[in-house]
Amino acid sequence: MYRNRFERYMGELTARLFRLYGSRWDFHLVLSDLVALMDEAAGERDPGLLARDADAEREADWFLRETGVGLTLYVDLFAGDFSGLEARIPDLRRLGITYAHLMPLFRSPEAHNDGGYAVSSYRETDPRLGSMKDLRRVASRFHEAGIALAIDFVFNHTSDEHEWALAAKRGEKEFRDYYRIFPEKEEADEWNRTLREIFPDTRRGSFTFVEAAGGWVWTTFNSFQWDLNYANPRVFLAMCREMLFLANLGVDALRLDALAFVWKKKGSDCENLEEAHLLIQAFQFVARIVAPSMVFKSEAIVHPDEVIRYIGVDECRLSYNPLQMALFWEATATRSARLLRHSLSRRWAVPEGTGWVNYIRCHDDIGWTFSDEDAREAGIDGFEHRKFLNRFYTGRFEGSFARGEAFQLNPETGDCRVCGTLASLCGLEEAAELHAAGDARAELYADMAVARMLMLFGALFALPGLPLLYAGDETASLNDGSWKADAVKRLDSRWVHRKARKPMREGTFWDSREDGGDPWLSERRLRVFTGLQNIIAARKAESGLGKTGIRFFDAGDDAVLGFSRAGGKITVLANFSDRRVPCRPGFIPPSVDLLTSEPFGEGDSFALGPYRALWLKER
């Protein structure tokens, strides 16, 4: 099988590498070394993974099926360590999880590690989680339970404590060339002129002076994360070796972290360059030859038009859908789905055999990545609208129900992103505060918060693609304010939604001890959890919600997002407002709501309640 794939795809791989490195005198040596490391990795692939490889083409659309449900989690926060995670597999199965993305697992600096995204070794796990042997066992247990394993491939940068960076600090030229290190500040300044600042609250510009390295090191994100120099083909070869090592652990999907930044070209913004696509495609063909059952997932939090360019069977078959995520929150704040419907209807289509990963929250912040062009067509000033959304979700807008934190506030522009859990951003934290104060409004506010969450889940799980939950949101976990008292975490507000769980009681998915003994809050969180369970069961039972077909339509009121699935036989309506929305007679044929089994007759007029989602299937 390996030789057949090699003969089938090596030409495609070589063509991409030639465009990147073909002008080098040693290009033939690069190819020779690449073939050798692919041969070695293929020979180390165990029988179980070879069997999955044999099924790869037949099972190629596994992430598009109606049975697919994903969960993103930090192993330490969710279960303590790998053994704890293994013990919780029955809980994952009961919830219906078929895809588990384990956040960064590998050795990183003790203090400055960006939540694990500053990798010191791709071959060693964080010892607090367990060993590489333990991780391999978890992957095997996941497969036995029908759960695909996804992990991060942090390939734009390494930690400044990685062995390559340490060698560069020692002055070893081979490894200095693994990074971009400029002895003179003028050279760094010349590059900086065309680059945007990603973490302006942390450091100005994209370079850090490192005395031990004797110059200015390219650090797009944090100063301790050194960008790799992919203009050097030896870096590509080294990272291919690390990627294939991860593939041979039993990984089914690799999330390509910060993939928009991997190629640098002077005079450009060094984002979304054509060479970046060629590089990712080259990695993809290496993986397709050696480990075809592993797919790539794009993490491109850039302009919506650029996000789509990373999606393809020869690049990333899966992609986060940051436009859908951001506009779910935009519609929730404005009580209008107009911009959401307009943008998604224009920008949903992806190539056959690929799909979106749809989500409401994740480990990261919320950035307002909608298109200004789309906003103008909807009569919205994009710049001012982002300012409003930031104020709304960080509690600086009168009447807001959200309890969020600003992330990376730019002191010059006032721009920022937003952090917080689903429940706190939807108003449950506000309701809990009112309840604690004895305010009679607490009941109504809590009911609305629960309804918002279930409406968002209802809309999310009806979309084509893979719905992805962020651990803690399935149980309506509130923000964790302890991050502000931590000397390291207080510099990164994303820790507000990176919350450790109490040890689980036997046979439960969630422990009410998290609520400090407050049965009022526990009861409302339980309503969210059981409501979500119902939504997941309804999705898994309806084959028409699989595959990719979707059509967005105007539901007659801007508060309502409307779309149809299964060739028009399933109509989905989601009311993003706190008012009842009348639906005109004859709007739908005789149908039944798949979420409640409630019948709707032909010619009936009805009102869609506040924050309600319907999945109406023709009878």
Q: How far apart are CA 396 and CA 377, in angstroms?
A: 27
Identify whether residues 201 and 304 lie together within a single domain.
Answer: no
270 is a domain residue:
no
Contact 228, 178 (CB under 8 A): yes
- What one-character DSSP code corresponds to residue 228? B
| Catalytic residue selected from 299, 330, 374, 514 | 299
* CATH number (domain holding residue 554): 2.60.40.1180
Q: At residue 225, what is the residue type?
A: Q
| CA distance to 177, 231, 237, per residue, from 24 (Å) | 15, 11, 15
Identify whether residues 417 and 476 lie together within a single domain.
Answer: yes
- What SS3 state is found at 50? helix
511 is a domain residue:
yes
Identify whether residues 209 and 83 lie together within a single domain.
Answer: no
Identify whether residues 319 and 431 lie together within a single domain.
Answer: yes
Domain limit, last residue, from 481, 509, 544: 544
Identify whether residues 593 and 467 lie together within a single domain.
Answer: no
| Catalytic residue selected from 161, 257, 315, 557 | 257
The helix (H) or strand (E) run that includes residue 182 is: strand 181-182
CB atoms within 10 A of CB 76: 20
Could you give the number of structural domains in the chain? Answer: 3
193 is a domain residue:
yes
pLDDT score at 408: 81
pLDDT score at 413: 73
Domain limit, last residue, from 490, 515, 544: 544
Based on the residue annotation, tell me whether 365 is a catalytic residue of this protein: no
Closest CA to 278 of 596, 515, 21, 611: 21
Give pLDDT tens digits for 389-438. 999 999 889 999 999 999 987 777 778 899 999 999 999 999 999 999 99
Q: How far apart are CA 60 and CA 57, in angstroms?
A: 5
Cα angle for residues 129, 237, 112 (degrees, 5° grid): 35
* CATH number (domain holding residue 345): 3.20.20.80
276 is a domain residue:
no
* CATH number (domain holding residue 178): 3.90.400.10
99 is a domain residue:
yes
Closest CA to 222 of 269, 156, 176: 156
Q: What is the pTM of this model?
A: 0.95
Q: How far apart are CA 290 and CA 50, in angstroms?
A: 10
37 is a domain residue:
no
Identify whether residues 145 and 183 lie together within a single domain.
Answer: no
Identify whether residues 490 and 534 lie together within a single domain.
Answer: yes
Identify whether residues 505 and 430 lie together within a single domain.
Answer: yes
271 is a domain residue:
no
Q: How far apart are CA 166 and CA 164, in angstroms?
A: 5
Identify whether residues 385 and 452 lie together within a single domain.
Answer: yes
pLDDT score at 506: 53
Identify whether residues 418 and 473 lie together within a single domain.
Answer: yes
| CA distance to 118, 194, 412, 598, per residue, from 203 (Å) | 16, 16, 13, 55
pLDDT less than 70: residues of the chain? 201-203, 502-513, 585-586, 602-604
Identify whether residues 184 and 80 lie together within a single domain.
Answer: no
Domain limit, last residue, from 511, 544, 577: 544
Domain ranges, residue 608: 549-618
Identify whether residues 161 and 204 lie together within a single domain.
Answer: yes
Based on the residue annotation, tell me whether 557 is a catalytic residue of this protein: no
pLDDT score at 515: 73
Tokens for 285, please give them. 């063909």
Q: How far apart are CA 364 and CA 400, in angstroms?
A: 22
206 is a domain residue:
yes
